[in-house]
Structure 1
Amino acid sequence: MRPSLLDPLFVPVTSLDGVGPKVATLIEKVVPADLTAREARAGDLLFTLPSSIIDRRNRPGIALSAEGAIVTLDVRVDRHQPPPRGNRSVPYRVFVHDDTGEMALTFFHANATWLERTLPIGEHVVVSGRMEWFNGRPSMVHPDHIAFADKAEGLPLVEPVYPLTAGLHAKVLRRAIGQALARLPGLPEWQDAELMRRQTFPSFADALRRIHNPADPIDVSPESAAWRRLAYDEILAGQVSLALVRANVRKHVGRALQGDGVRIKALRDTLPYRLTSSQEQALTEIDADMAKPDRMLRLLQGDVGSGKTVVALLAMARAVEAGGQAALMAPTEILARQHFSTIGPLAQKAGLNVAVLTGREKGRERTGILDGLENGSIDIVIGTHALFQEAVRFRDLAFAVVDEQHRFGVHQRLAITAKGEAPDMLVMTATPIPRTLVLTAFGDMDVSRLTEKPAGRQPIRTVTLPFERYDELVGRISDALAEGQKIYWICPLVEESEEVKLTSAEERHAALRQEFGLRVGLVHGRMSGRDKDEAMRAFKEGKTRVLVATTVVEVGVDVPDATIIVIEHAERFGLAQLHQLRGRVGRGSKASTCVLLYKPPLGETATARLSVLRESEDGFRIAEEDLKLRGEGELLGTRQSGTPGFQIARLEFHADLLEIARSDARLLLTRDPALESERGEAIRVLLYLFGRDEAVRLLRAG
């Protein structure tokens, strides 16, 4: 059970004064938590941190206030000038002066009674807001604060600036955050005293108060002691929960998976190429893990086209030789079917029975597959998350492969392992993940890396091209089609949108159809699974030769004879994503080209991003650069999917805390595996506070 101590923070935000259902919906848009499954709670507001401050300490006097500056002025009210009756377009002006000069306070659609009460003639008041100058005359439009001089000490001189959304006023959000802070109960200290001293960390409550009530710009910097304290709390909660998952996984005793080597030999003999040395190295590590009685939990990182699937197939074959079954789970139907088309023929030659199971298999076909899994006649099943539905039962699931792990959270890892008697698990990702992030997201795993491309693969030439040269590009594609090449054309949107002036996939498809006729196909995420597969098959078989697509083709889609990829509005994509997309070509023996089509002028980050991509094909270097340019949440695609993306920690500032938290978590759980000591109890509070309830449940299940 969650400690009752935390109850004041777990009430809905609608229980705060001034927050009705409408405001709550707006607050949910700015609160950083993953709220897909629930409404926002008061505690979420504590972690909605300011991005900057407004400094109202500048008091230069009217005549010395610079254009656009935020100033605070001590003035006397001279006269009111309401708009002419019936003409609402003219603003209401209140003229004021100080020792240096006169200015107008300007209000549109004003309430005259309220202004007369707030700014009485002859009264000495303090106003704060942005200064504007028209034709040499100073003005302040809708001051942010107005107070009588004798009551002005309550004015916030340093104000935090929070992320907002249309319709949500800064004052409303600030008031709600203030109420949440006031509800913060006295919490036990979960951090090690020596670490606090070394890092000069304030207490949890002091850190929150310092950031939400800043006295100086440094207080809202991610590098301040207060922000680092909260970042460490969040990272530690993550590392403790990963360590608990790992302990839980290891607790279910695995088994040694060793076979006679017959299937493995048959498979290797059917491969049309030799494995690279890094594939062999990864297999050696995986085989060693499988041979032990402990459960395997290993991450296989390999750049696009480095041959992860074959490594996974050989590992699955070993599990089948040992008398078990294996499952490969992919994040999308397209990918599951593609793995099936790659793995199926090889596996069959080696005498392995492989099936595919997604949401699309229905009726008799589905029943046949479910029966085959239950009676053990199917050795390997490939599918989407449909594999962990209740109805799916295995005779003996000994080995599970999860593809593109960052699309699956820790709880899904647990769900699939529940399907067998503690199956070994191999997680694959084609997103090259910097070492710091491997610690964050996969602290519970051992890691193998594939660093080479299979023999015969050509490097990909990457060029940047401004939109002005679109016609030239179409001419070049016409030549490529005449030579029998295949082309991907990637667009950022499915259909045209009013807000964003970008060419949509549907629009580009129509334009290219006019140029190249029926040879142009279209695939995007809103199409049904069957239509997507049909479009991919037509492209693979050469019925269409240009495929206009959104980023659904980003991961794993394999058409070896595609040699050109055009990425439209390349400046809109992140580095890791551009690198993934580029990896759709260069999969055969022909030289390939990636064209980054951009709309000038480019901002500084976009320029840096495109030039990194032009210079390098090394996914790990690209990932490190991407981390510097964008921060970790975007890189793992986690801002959307709520895996290890952080609310508070920013890895570009706090990477040093990861190592400390990892060893802190391991040491803590070695000494106190059930978190029953005084610090252990406090750590439980921390886990609940950061939404790591599933980790606490593991303790109970233990």
Structure 2
Amino acid sequence: MRPEALFSLFKPLQTLPGVGPRLAVLLEKLVGAHVVDLIWHLPVGIVDRSHQPRISGIEPGRLVTVTVVVEAHQPAARAGLPSRVRCADETGTLDLVFFHARGDWLQKQLPVGSTRVVSGRAEFYHGQPQIAHPDLIVDPAEFDPSAAVEPVYGMTAGLAPKTLAKIMTAALSSAPDLPEWLDGPLKAREGWADWREALMTAHSPQSLAELDPQSPARQRLAYDELLAGQLALALIRRAQRRLKGRELKGDGRLRSAIEARLPYRLTNAQQGSLAEIFADMAAPARMLRLLQGDVGSGKTVVALLAMLAAVEAGTQAALMAPTEILARQHLETLAPMLEGSGVRLEILTGRDKGKAREALLARLAAGEIDILVGTHAVFQDDVAFADLGLAVVDEQHRFGVHQRLQLSGKGSAVDMLVMTATPIPRTLTLTAYGDMEVSRLTEKPPGRQPVKTIVLPSTRLGEVVSAISRKRAEGARIYWVCPLVDESEQMDLAAATDRQVMLEAEFGPGVGLIHGKMKAADKDKVMADFAAGHLWMLVATTVIEVGVNVPEATVMVIEHAERFGLAQLHQLRGRVGRGSGESTCLLVYDGQPGETAKARLRIMRETEDGFVIAEEDLRLRGAGDVLGTKQSGLPQFRLADLAEHTPLLEIARDDARLILKMDGELQSDRGKALRTLLYLFERDAAVRYLRSG
């Protein structure tokens, strides 16, 4: 149950004075449905009305606040001209200028003979000071000079700043005093105020410095959010560990036979990751491990050896991929490695129908399939395993957590290995995957050469075409990726189609086209033709970003490279350099790229290390965009900024671990306050993992 102290914060916004149905819709669009959503909406700027000169001291271009007497009204002489209101103080006169203002409204706001405090941006017209459409007109009795600095909030169309300010004041007044959940020495060391005081300070900044994420009030609130997240993950992780698992220990016969066949030795990183995975599988608790490996770091081999350990122990294994192209590719990679080993390998995708599908499902349920490679089709209710021991999920961020659970429900105490080729910054690993153990593959298999990266302007496209002509003569296979045009798939498609026509006119047949709007079977056919060498060039949208493996492809051209994120550029470049030949990536930019785009292109030229690139991507773009938050399952932070608050995240993680060690069921005074914190940040699900929660 949510603590009573929080009831006022979780009321609908319509319970606030002045919020009717129309305003509620606008506010919900801006922040969310509850009062708490509004108080998390922190100011993004300030309006400083503290410069209060006499009229004679007004400087053009400055925001001024002046106390004046209204002398005369001069209505608009004709349509299109402004109305003017002449005002004065003892040092001079000032005109207030209004376009399209109703005369009666002006008379009411500024009666002749009245004194008013007026604020706005000053300018001069024919030597006379004026303020066009002042944003503040009040009676001096209503103006508090000490509150001259006003917060500015992010807005939505149809909502007036004054209206939002009024509603925000009401929302903040309903914020209760809450028991302290912070560690006393930490709070004292950082100089942080109590929660409510920090909230009020954050909403009434007196200077630009107080808008900074590193200001004490904002740090305190960010830490609260991060601590709630880390504590929730720690509780979930502990609950996972308490779930009964089973000990999967193989005798190593299949693994050693396959390893002996490999044309290379496993890297130290692969061996280390496998040791961690095998130890997890042999332990009585369930495994939940994330395997992070850069493009081409050899994750598939690690996954295969893990699955063989499950098969040796007498159970089945499943390997899930997000797309059919990827699933078929895994099959093509694994089948030759398993040839002659006696391990029975099959694939199940959405394309399998009718009798063939029924026969495959019957064999799976009878235990006649050892390893099943599949897509989302495996989640269907009629797919049953005889005894699923290990589930491997590839490209985790394309699957939600609920799908992970669905898959683990296909067996009893299923071990789970989750893989991603998207290098995730350490910070995001802590927030998105804090419920998992993490293994990292940081080396590339022997024999892989670095990809030479060249950055050049689109004015030199002719040279690129000539260079491609030379490479073609050497027998190279080439990717040509077309731009994201304003995030519009239609326009992406047009750009790719036009480019394919142009290149085919230049080079003749052998130039294929692949894009996201094609049917799965057509995409597979084009990819197969490119892999087999029937096509020597593939013009593509970003559909080839993940997982496509053609070791013979050695050239990658990316047009409008300035429009892509770092992680995406890195993934695309990873499509070449997969064989032993020398590979090149040409990043072609258009016009004058902005500072961030320039920084991205520079980083791409300087490093191939996916983890370095991921950290830079986080710094340049912020957390929400690094994995594409929509499909990544990443927690959305309202107060914390991961690029700014990384050190706080580290502290929060250690704090959460210590809390569970000292007060596992959150029963102490601080423990009870921490339960309130979990509810405050809507981590209610984690409270259910407390024995008395």
1:320, distance to aligned residue in structure 2 (A): 1.1
Of 529-538 and 221-230, more deviation after overlay is shown by 529-538
- Shift of the 97–596 alpha-carbon distance from structure 1 to 2, 3 Å rule, reads farther
Separation in structure 1 between the aligned mates of residue 326 and residue 129 of structure 2, nearest angstrom = 63
Separation in structure 1 between the aligned mates of residue 115 and residue 533 of structure 2, nearest angstrom = 80
Q: Aligned to 2:201, what secondary structure does the other structure show?
A: helix
**Partner of 1:684 in structure 2?**
675
**Partner of 1:78 in structure 2?**
71
Letter in 1 for 2:112: I
1:694, distance to aligned residue in structure 2 (A): 2.4
Letter in 2 for 1:680: G
**Partner of 1:508 in structure 2?**
496
Is the counterpart of residue 429 in structure 1 residue 429 in structure 2? no
Residues 483 and 495, structure 2, Cα contact 8 Å, conserved in 1: no
1:290, distance to aligned residue in structure 2 (A): 2.1
Matches within 5 A, 1:238-277: 238-277=229-268
Separation in structure 1 between the aligned mates of residue 592 and residue 690 of structure 2, nearest angstrom = 54
Separation in structure 2 between the aligned mates of residue 41 and residue 284 of structure 1, nearest angstrom = 48
Residues 628 and 652, structure 1, Cα contact 8 Å, conserved in 2: yes
Matches within 5 A, 1:312-391: 312-391=303-382
Is the counterpart of residue 630 in structure 1 residue 618 in structure 2? no
**Partner of 1:48 in structure 2?**
41
Letter in 2 for 1:83: A
Separation in structure 2 between the aligned mates of residue 229 and residue 321 of structure 1, nearest angstrom = 51
**Partner of 2:539 in structure 1?**
548
Letter in 1 for 2:457: P
Q: Work out which of the residue numbers 562, 565, 574 in structure 2 matches 1:583.
A: 574
Separation in structure 2 between the aligned mates of residue 98 and residue 306 of structure 1, nearest angstrom = 75
- Shift of the 186–413 alpha-carbon distance from structure 1 to 2, 3 Å rule, reads farther
TM-score (norm 2): 0.91
1:482, distance to aligned residue in structure 2 (A): 4.4
1:614, distance to aligned residue in structure 2 (A): 0.5
**Partner of 2:563 in structure 1?**
572
Letter in 2 for 1:441: A
- Shift of the 525–204 alpha-carbon distance from structure 1 to 2, 3 Å rule, reads farther
Matches within 5 A, 1:430-509: 430-493=421-484, 504-509=492-497
Of 168-177 and 571-580, more deviation after overlay is shown by 168-177
Separation in structure 2 between the aligned mates of residue 512 and residue 100 of structure 1, nearest angstrom = 72
Matches within 5 A, 1:603-622: 603-622=594-613
**Partner of 1:666 in structure 2?**
657
**Partner of 1:35 in structure 2?**
none
Residues 382-433 of structure 1 show CA distances to partners (whole Å, capped at 9, x for unaligned) of 3344444444333222112222334445555444333332222222222223
Residues 389 and 411, structure 2, Cα contact 8 Å, conserved in 1: yes
Separation in structure 1 between the aligned mates of residue 110 and residue 44 of structure 2, nearest angstrom = 32
Q: Which runs of 5+ in 2 are unaligned?
A: none
1:65, distance to aligned residue in structure 2 (A): 4.3
Of 576-585 and 410-419, more deviation after overlay is shown by 410-419
Separation in structure 1 between the aligned mates of residue 59 and residue 395 of structure 2, nearest angstrom = 53
Residues 50 and 145, structure 2, Cα contact 8 Å, conserved in 1: no
**Partner of 1:286 in structure 2?**
277
Residues 97-125 of structure 1 show CA distances to partners (whole Å, capped at 9, x for unaligned) of 44554443333322221111111223221
Separation in structure 2 between the aligned mates of residue 658 and residue 28 of structure 1, nearest angstrom = 29
Separation in structure 2 between the aligned mates of residue 389 and residue 185 of structure 1, nearest angstrom = 47
1:315, distance to aligned residue in structure 2 (A): 0.5
Q: Aligned to 2:645, what secondary structure does the other structure show?
A: helix
1:61, distance to aligned residue in structure 2 (A): 4.3
Q: Aligned to 1:652, what secondary structure does the other structure show?
A: coil
**Partner of 1:311 in structure 2?**
302
- Shift of the 98–368 alpha-carbon distance from structure 1 to 2, 3 Å rule, reads farther
Separation in structure 2 between the aligned mates of residue 48 and residue 427 of structure 1, nearest angstrom = 35
Residues 136-180 of structure 1 show CA distances to partners (whole Å, capped at 9, x for unaligned) of 554433222111223222895222222234444433443443333
**Partner of 2:122 in structure 1?**
131
Is the counterpart of residue 598 in structure 1 residue 593 in structure 2? no
Identity, % of aligned pairs? Answer: 56
Residues 665 and 692, structure 2, Cα contact 8 Å, conserved in 1: no
Separation in structure 1 between the aligned mates of residue 298 and residue 527 of structure 2, nearest angstrom = 21
Residues 496 and 541, structure 2, Cα contact 8 Å, conserved in 1: no
**Partner of 1:203 in structure 2?**
194
- Shift of the 60–378 alpha-carbon distance from structure 1 to 2, 3 Å rule, reads farther
Letter in 1 for 2:573: R
Residues 409 and 643, structure 1, Cα contact 8 Å, conserved in 2: no
Q: Aligned to 2:178, what secondary structure does the other structure show?
A: coil
Separation in structure 2 between the aligned mates of residue 259 and residue 234 of structure 1, nearest angstrom = 43
Letter in 2 for 1:6: L
Matches within 5 A, 1:227-242: 227-242=218-233
Is the counterpart of residue 3 in structure 1 residue 3 in structure 2? yes
Q: Aligned to 2:434, what secondary structure does the other structure show?
A: coil
Separation in structure 2 between the aligned mates of residue 689 and residue 483 of structure 1, nearest angstrom = 63
Matches within 5 A, 1:17-36: 17=17, 19=19, 23-24=23-24, 26-31=26-31
**What RMSD in Å do the two structures reach over aligned CA positions?**
3.0
Residues 460-506 of structure 1 show CA distances to partners (whole Å, capped at 9, x for unaligned) of 11111122223333333344344443332334437886xx9x96342
Letter in 1 for 2:216: A
Residues 305 and 453, structure 1, Cα contact 8 Å, conserved in 2: yes
Is the counterpart of residue 699 in structure 1 residue 690 in structure 2? yes
Separation in structure 1 between the aligned mates of residue 185 and residue 486 of structure 2, nearest angstrom = 56
Residues 124 and 130, structure 2, Cα contact 8 Å, conserved in 1: yes
Residues 423-471 of structure 1 show CA distances to partners (whole Å, capped at 9, x for unaligned) of 2222222222333333333333333221221222221111111222233
- Shift of the 548–113 alpha-carbon distance from structure 1 to 2, 3 Å rule, reads farther
Separation in structure 1 between the aligned mates of residue 535 and residue 129 of structure 2, nearest angstrom = 65
Residues 490-538 of structure 1 show CA distances to partners (whole Å, capped at 9, x for unaligned) of 34437886xx9x9634223223313315644443444443443344334
Residues 408 and 643, structure 1, Cα contact 8 Å, conserved in 2: no
Residues 376 and 394, structure 1, Cα contact 8 Å, conserved in 2: yes
Residues 618-643 of structure 1 show CA distances to partners (whole Å, capped at 9, x for unaligned) of 12222222233233332233366441
Residues 675-702 of structure 1 show CA distances to partners (whole Å, capped at 9, x for unaligned) of 3333333222222222223222333699
- Shift of the 546–72 alpha-carbon distance from structure 1 to 2, 3 Å rule, reads farther
Residues 639-677 of structure 1 show CA distances to partners (whole Å, capped at 9, x for unaligned) of 664413422212333222222212221122223333333
- Shift of the 372–227 alpha-carbon distance from structure 1 to 2, 3 Å rule, reads farther
- Shift of the 167–434 alpha-carbon distance from structure 1 to 2, 3 Å rule, reads same
1:561, distance to aligned residue in structure 2 (A): 1.9
Q: Which runs of 5+ in 1 are unaligned?
A: 32-38
- Shift of the 295–24 alpha-carbon distance from structure 1 to 2, 3 Å rule, reads same
Residues 332-381 of structure 1 show CA distances to partners (whole Å, capped at 9, x for unaligned) of 44333332332244335433223333444444444344434333222222
Q: Aligned to 2:390, what secondary structure does the other structure show?
A: strand
Aligned length: 690
Q: Aligned to 1:504, what secondary structure does the other structure show?
A: helix
1:565, distance to aligned residue in structure 2 (A): 1.9
- Shift of the 237–323 alpha-carbon distance from structure 1 to 2, 3 Å rule, reads same
Separation in structure 2 between the aligned mates of residue 153 and residue 387 of structure 1, nearest angstrom = 66
Of 571-580 and 227-236, more deviation after overlay is shown by 571-580
